[in-house]
Amino acid sequence: MTATATFDDALRLARRTVVDPRYPINTYTLDALWVLYDRVLRVDPRRPDDPERDRFLLSKGHGPGSYFAVLAAKGFIPADWLDAVAAADSPLGAHPDRTRVPGVEVSAGSLGHGLPLGIGTALGLRAQGLDRPRVYVLLGDAEFDEGSNHEALAYAGATRLSTLTAVVVDNASATHGWPGGIASRFTAQGWTAATVEATDHDALYRALTSHTGAAPHAVIATSH
């Protein structure tokens, strides 16, 4: 696939990857991933290790079919990898492994690891004078239960880590919910936040590009 791939191409690719019926392809994740890779992230499959690239960290590693599909649509991995997910010799599993898959920034699976890793990445880039790259971390609303996220968002807000964007795809799957909305947890800690419909690509794009440069930014993509 190439830069001319469309969202529908990515959706078709994603459907080839389903290995675990508990995690079918949910377009609420594919929508956000597509908008990120198609319109927001400065990444290039020809230079996956470019120090100046934006970093995208899929924290919510479950059911990564949408992620692998977008990586294939954008040329990071061959599309035929999608037909053998989790096979013995496949680099693709039911969770992404950064040591096996080009373009994957972090290995995921256990929840609540992406935001702290993203903060460390953002701090490390800044310490090396790499001011241009932005760090994006995608989480789920149920993953947001994990306490490590709350350590991370309090710290990032207090230190105004403005090169960081958290994207929370919220399909109301958290057992005890987030009364008042997930965005309020971020804004209470000094982040800017925008809440949009998970399937509205233009709204996602505007939200994903509305950071101020003065604070970390959160985008809540809701599908409920």
Partner 1 sequence: MRSHPMKADDGSLAMRDVFISETSALLDDDPRLALVLADISAGEGRFQQAAADHPDRVINVGIREQLMVGVAGGLALSGLRPVVHSYAPFLVERAFEQVKLDLGHQGAGAILASVGASYDWAEGGYTHFSPRDVALLDSIPGWTVHVPGHPAEVAAPLRAAAAGDHAEYLRLSLRRNAEAHATSDGRLAVLRRGSDATVVAVGPMLDNTLAAVADLDVTVAYASTVRPFDTRTLRDLGNDTIVLVEPYLAGTSDWLINRDLSDRPHRLLSLGVARTDLHRFGTADDHDHWHGLDSEGIRASVEKFLGR
Residues of the shown chain interacting with partner 1 in the complex, contacts defined by CB under 8 A? 51, 98-99, 105-107, 110, 112-113, 115-128, 130, 147-148, 151-152, 154-155
Pick the closer one to partner 1 by CB: 7 or 155: 155
Pick the closer one to partner 1 by CB: 50 or 202: 50
Q: Provide the minimum distance between the beta carbon of 150 and partner 1 in the complex, in angstroms, as a whole number.
A: 9
Q: Provide the minimum distance between the beta carbon of 90 and partner 1 in the complex, in angstroms, as a whole number.
A: 18
Q: Provide the minimum distance between the beta carbon of 59 and partner 1 in the complex, in angstroms, as a whole number.
A: 10
Pick the closer one to partner 1 by CB: 34 or 56: 56
Compute the distance between CA of residue 94 and CA of residue 117 in angstroms, rounded to an integer: 20
Q: Provide the minimum distance between the beta carbon of 134 and partner 1 in the complex, in angstroms, as a whole number.
A: 13
Pick the closer one to partner 1 by CB: 88 or 127: 127
Pick the closer one to partner 1 by CB: 24 or 120: 120
The token pair that represents 3 in the structure block: 């830069």
Q: Provide the minimum distance between the beta carbon of 99 and partner 1 in the complex, in angstroms, as a whole number.
A: 5
Q: What are phi and psi of 71, to 5 degrees?
A: -60, -35
SS3 labels along 118-183 = HHHHHHHHHHCCCCCCCEEEEEECCHHHCHHHHHHHHHHHHCCCCCEEEEEEECCCCCCCCCCCHH
For residue 222, list its beta bridge partners. 170, 197
Pick the closer one to partner 1 by CB: 16 or 113: 113
Q: Provide the minimum distance between the beta carbon of 192 and partner 1 in the complex, in angstroms, as a whole number.
A: 21
* Residue whose entry in the numeric block shows the structure tokens 């701090």: 123
* Number of alpha carbons in the 13 Å side-chain half-sphere of residue 192: 16
